[in-house]
A = this chain, B = another copy of it.
Amino acid sequence: MEAFNNNIEKLNRPTLERLLLYYHYINEHMNGEDTACISSSELAQIIGVDDTLVRKDFASIGLKGRPRSGFVMADIKSQIRVILGFDKSYHAIIVGAGRLGGAIACYDEFKDYGLKIVGLFDNDIQKIGSQIGEFTIQPLVELSPIIQQLQVILGILTVPAEAAQPLADQMIEAGVKGIWCFSPTHLVVPSHITLRQEHLSVGIAGLSYHLRNLIS
């Protein structure tokens, strides 16, 4: 297990992102045939990368193919699930019950990735107690107790930028191991905390940069 972990710990970001693309494609095109195969070159063409890269990626997660037939799709799917941790379920909570927080709370696909939302919090007295999807919005005073009671390891932030840092600090103090932040700010967290910052504006930047010459 030690060696195995050391091995996959090395996966770099481009590889991680490609693994997810493979996973999406296989997931949508498996049709229950457990023994169906796909060649690295076919998958490479679909994803838009070089076929050697696909084989390298698969080798890096311990997948073996067979000359003349390729890789068993069911194997690809299950191995990526294991490597990315989708086979293990873990608890997350959302702080910020605005439209974005609500959208994430109700996002159906999360269960495919092992992520289970177990709470939705807000400081707005108007919202507390009301319902979004299957969640009753809870007050912030419950935040730390719930994190501890339910062993929540991921905190999702969908609050205004200026509220994000203190809430992140509080969640880390209470025991979360990761922060997924949708607030447009720059969080500072201890090095042992996994942080993923989603900046909508990164998307805009790329689009705007490519579109700017078309704007009259």
The CA-CA distance from A216 to B166 in the complex, in Å, is 27
The CA-CA distance from A85 to B198 in the complex, in Å, is 21
Q: Which of chain B's residues have a CB closer than 8 A to the CB of A11? A: 209
A194 pairs with B177, CB closer than 8 A = no
| Residues 83-135 (chain A) with a chain B CB within 8 angstroms | 83-86, 88-90, 98-100, 102-104, 106-107, 109-110, 113-115
Residue in contact with A212 in the complex, picked from B85, B199, B202, B208, CB distance below 8 Å: B85
| Residues 1-49 (chain A) with a chain B CB within 8 angstroms | 5, 11, 13, 16-17, 19-21, 24-25
- Using an 8 Å CB-CB cutoff, how does the interface string of A175-216 with B read, 1 for contact, 0 for none? 001101000101000000010101111111111111111111
Q: Which of chain B's residues have a CB closer than 8 A to the CB of A199? A: 20
Interface of chain A: mostly helix, strand, loop or mixed: helix
Q: Which of chain B's residues have a CB closer than 8 A to the CB of A137? A: none
For chain A, the bracket of interface size reads 35 or more
A210 pairs with B184, CB closer than 8 A = no
B86 pairs with A214, CB closer than 8 A = no
Q: A114-B208, A178-B207, A215-B90 are in contact. Are A202 and B153 (CB under 8 A)?
A: no
Tell me the smallest distance from the CB of A175 to a CB of chain B, in Å: 11
Residue in contact with A85 in the complex, picked from B17, B184, B211, B216, CB distance below 8 Å: B211
Q: Does A54 contact B (CB under 8 A)?
A: no
Q: Does A159 contact B (CB under 8 A)?
A: no
Give me 30 A-to-B residue pairs in the complex whose CB atoms sit less than 8 angstroms apart, sorted by A's number: A5-B213, A11-B209, A13-B206, A17-B202, A20-B202, A21-B186, A24-B184, A84-B205, A84-B209, A85-B209, A85-B215, A90-B208, A98-B103, A99-B100, A100-B100, A104-B200, A107-B200, A109-B200, A109-B201, A110-B204, A113-B201, A113-B205, A115-B208, A153-B214, A153-B215, A178-B210, A180-B207, A196-B206, A196-B207, A198-B203
**Known interface pairs A99-B99, A100-B100, A104-B200; 8 further A-B residue pairs with C-beta atoms within 8 A, sorted by A's residue number:** A17-B205, A20-B205, A83-B209, A84-B212, A85-B211, A100-B103, A109-B184, A178-B210
